Amino acid sequence: MLTPMGGKGRAMLTDKGLYRLMSWLSPAFPVGAFSYSHGIEYAVEAGRVTDARTLTGWIETILAHGAGRADATLFCAAWRAADAGEDGALDWAAERAAILRPCSEMALESSAQGAAFLETVRKVWEEPRLGRWAARLAEMDRAPAYCVAVAAAAAWLRVPLRPALTAFLQAVAANLVSAGVRLVPLGQTDGQRAVAALETTVIAAVDAALARSLADLGGAAPMVDWTAMMHETQYTRLFRS
């Protein structure tokens, strides 16, 4: 059963909403997700990720304790702010998402995807609030974090919070698995086994984020942060993070 949306009771994911989620979070959507590994490239070089099991565990940590945890919390805050028409709260979520990055590559990973997502969505779906928000972000000289951009679009284009967040985290997990498949390397079947194994983690992360207070915003995955920092000076690189 879906959680009611804001104070408006829009609980059902419609066919249009499902179609939009599938479009926005498809690998074909032009945000460049394929070019980021979130530090997994260095984790492979350092021997921290060596097979499907260790790749799955690494991504579980990101979702439950690292950037995935923080992004899920901010996704909820941004969706609720956009749904309620609270510009100040949405600006707060955008600001916090921008600063909660441990290194320059993770900041780039989030802001570049967020900016590309917002630009494409507002040109294709033509929702006026997306254009106004883009103008406000430009005035603040801030690119939107990916999680905040997707959340705002979902709220304004009538996609319920829970399925939107579930689809977002699944897309994050699947993209990191894809990076691991190329880097370890792994076979495609092992990659899909990893995606399947992450199902429980994604659902648990959604449940936790929906119930979490903003006072509990943040994450703690120092080894993931370390690999992302080391990636900045890695000699041979295929990915931008």
**Domains in the chain, please, with CATH?**
35-231 (1.10.4190.10)
Rg (CA), the chain: 17
Residuewise pLDDT in 10s, the chain (241 residues): 233 344 443 469 999 999 999 999 999 999 999 999 999 999 999 999 999 999 999 999 999 999 999 999 999 999 999 999 999 999 999 999 998 888 999 999 999 999 999 999 999 998 999 999 999 999 999 999 999 999 999 999 999 999 999 999 999 999 999 999 999 999 999 999 999 999 999 999 999 999 999 999 988 999 999 999 999 999 999 999 9
Would you state the pLDDT for residue 102?
85
Residue spans of alpha helices (H) in the chain: 15-24, 40-45, 52-65, 67-84, 87-99, 104-125, 128-140, 146-156, 161-183, 188-197, 199-211, 222-231
**Single pTM value for the model:** 0.94
